[in-house]
Amino acid sequence: MSVFFILMKSRMLQHSVLPFCLTVVVLLLVQSCEGSLSAKSRLIADKGIVALAGDDVILSCSLVPANSASSQTVVWTRPDLDPKYIHVQKDGQPVCSSQNLLYFNRTALFEEELKHGNVSLKLSRVKISDGGKYFCFVQSVVWAVSIKLTVGKSAVSCF
């Protein structure tokens, strides 16, 4: 809100009525959007994860408030890859056809956790090339969230 007050203040300093009115309209629009979005869940995720090559990691992402995601489409992507799909799940089943082959047989969601809105991704046997920015989407939510995975070389790994 404080941003808008600053905005309004700077607008009023210009002694012009039109910009002031526009600001009020924008303010009202933003408020009504915030109102309708807050009725639904949003996603929260870890900011970043650090792992060593060969580790199994959990990229944490969940709905708040915790609505069930069991029957929702859940999508994990890495937009810097082509195909960008890391893990896609529809009607409780993984959709393997769209998956980037680099992630074959290394991804899973926690089935029991989905009903608590927890759509965290388990990524097994991480490689150096897995380092990057991952996005978590759930069908009912407007905004995706991202998590950065950093993978370091392990002393004993061959990757």
Ligand X SMILES: *[C@@H]1O[C@H](CO)[C@@H](O)[C@H](O)[C@H]1NC(C)=O
| Site residues, ligand X (CB under 6 A) | 58, 60, 62, 105, 110, 113, 118, 120
- For residues 59 and 151, which CB has a smaller minimum distance to ligand X in the complex? 59
d(CA 106, CA 121): 10
Closest CB 110 distance from ligand X, rounded Å: 4
Q: Which DSSP string corresponds to 23-83? A: HHHHHHHHHHHHHHHHTS-EEEE-SEEEEETT--EEE-EEEES----TTS-EEEE-TTSSS
Closest CB 71 distance from ligand X, rounded Å: 18
Closest CB 130 distance from ligand X, rounded Å: 15
- For residues 43 and 151, which CB has a smaller minimum distance to ligand X in the complex? 43
